[in-house]
Amino acid sequence: MLQIEETADARDRYIAAVIAGVLLHVFFFFQFASYSKRGEVHWLIFAVASLFAGFLVARISRLHPFRACLVLLATVCAAQLLLIVADVVLTDPTAHNLAPFEFLAILFFGSASFAGAATARLAAD
């Protein structure tokens, strides 16, 4: 198995992916409102935002752009899991009864970030 050696500098570049994931989650899912006051998620706009986030993250993290996009999506999913736990524990136990489908939608529409990373990689070559 081929192992790719990463330097501390390369690992620090994943911080941009984590920040982008947190910003995507706050803007599209959390919105600093309670569960009953949050609006509907506009999935196509989320996909376009993921595309641009993937492009920017890939430009910053040139060593492993697709791994950085994976970190971005994992961050959005982790933030959503924390939001679901907080909503279920603090407000309404039935608030997220379709939680698995929320994650499937995040992964499906968020996978546009990989297209953004591929575009960034092509533009860099």
Over 60: is that where the pLDDT of 2 sits?
A: no
Domain boundaries, the chain: 15-30+40-124
In this prediction the pTM is: 0.85
Q: Give the C-alpha separation, 58 to 121, whole Å.
A: 7
Render pLDDT for 83-102 as a digit per residue (tens, 0 to 9): 999 888 988 888 888 889 99
What is the per-residue pLDDT for 65? 86
Which residue, chain included where needed, has tokens 């999913």?
77
Amino acid (one-letter) located at 63: L
* CA-CA-CA-CA torsion sign (108, 113, 117, 119): positive
